[in-house]
Amino acid sequence: NLSERLMKVASFVEKNTMLADIGSDHAYLPCYLVHNGVITHAIAGEVVKGPFESARKQVKSEGLDKHIDVRFGNGLAVIKEEDHVQTITIAGMGGPLIASILEAGKEKLTTAETLILQPNVHAKAIREWAIKEQWKIDQEAILEEHDKIYEILVLKKGLMELTEQELLVGPQLMREKSDVFRKKWLNDVFEWQRILDQLNKTALTEDVQAKKDELEKKISLVKES
Ligand code: SAM
């Protein structure tokens, strides 16, 4: 059974697209998509031996060897031009790691039309990368599962401009202001405030002041959103 988080990621995958799932672990996402008739072929990439073997076993046990190609390699390096990959999913990692995988493999993005990214934290790093590399936010989602809150960003090629606030909390999510969105930012502000209170008790060095300024800035951006 697929987690709600991965179900939501799956819901953004367009029918019959050629998919590469990077950091696939057990390859649950591509297996689900093929079984449900959303896609017929996928590549599952893994850079760690254990998860790579798990993915191979899972694909074999589900009888999907002819549909899902499990490949060992770092990030987008598993993608070849002749694969004509249209959709790339990267889920379950921190935003900065996802952004660094995209940055390191950007020459592999020529055929890609849609990037479906699910950062566990720091989605901002992905929005910054997207602006720099001329991808725009097509859709955004936020959900809570097992007391954790996850964001999903669907990127398509194109230009976008974001305010500092939108960069931090997401332009569409900010407009929707769902209960989960409110909860996430209340939690984060609470945590930042707690750190600020700690910093206020320590000696004021330049580093401490910089950290305080950064936290205060983020708190005010979130409070205004
Ligand atoms: N995508 C699955 C999900 O959302 O449930 C698995 C998430 S798991 C927490 C992250 C996976 O990404 C791990 O299996 C890890 O080995 C893999 N990974 C991390 N960095 C990677 C990279 N540069 N290239 C390929 N896989 C990577």
Q: Which residues of 125-155 are buried (b: 16+ CB within 10 A; e: fewer)?
A: bbbbbbbeeebbbbebbbbeeeeebbbbbbb
Query: Quick check: is 177 in a domain?
Result: no
Q: ipTM of this predicted complex?
A: 0.99
Q: From the CA of 74, give the closest atom in ligand 1.
A: 24
**CA-nearest residue, atom 16 of ligand 1:** 48
The CB of 140 under 6 Å from ligand 1? The reply is no
**CA-nearest residue, atom 24 of ligand 1:** 75
- The CATH number of residue 63's host domain is 3.40.50.150
C-alpha 122 to ligand 1 mean position (Å)? 16
Instruction: Note the helical H segments in 145-178.
Output: 164-169, 171-176
Q: From the CA of 48, give the closest atom in ligand 1.
A: 16
The CB of 47 under 6 Å from ligand 1? The reply is yes
Q: pLDDT per position in the chain (225 positions), as tens?
A: 899 999 999 999 999 999 999 999 999 999 999 999 999 999 999 999 999 999 999 999 999 999 999 999 999 999 999 999 999 999 999 999 999 999 999 999 999 999 999 999 999 999 999 999 999 999 999 999 999 999 999 999 999 999 999 999 999 999 999 999 999 999 999 999 999 999 999 999 999 999 999 999 999 999 988
Q: Are residues 139 and 210 in the same domain?
A: no
Task: Give the DSSP letter of residue 204.
Answer: -
CB 12 within 8 A of CB 137: no
Q: Are residues 149 and 217 in the same domain?
A: no
Query: Quick check: is 172 in a domain?
Result: no
Structural domain boundaries, residue 217: 182-224
The CB of 79 under 6 Å from ligand 1? The reply is no
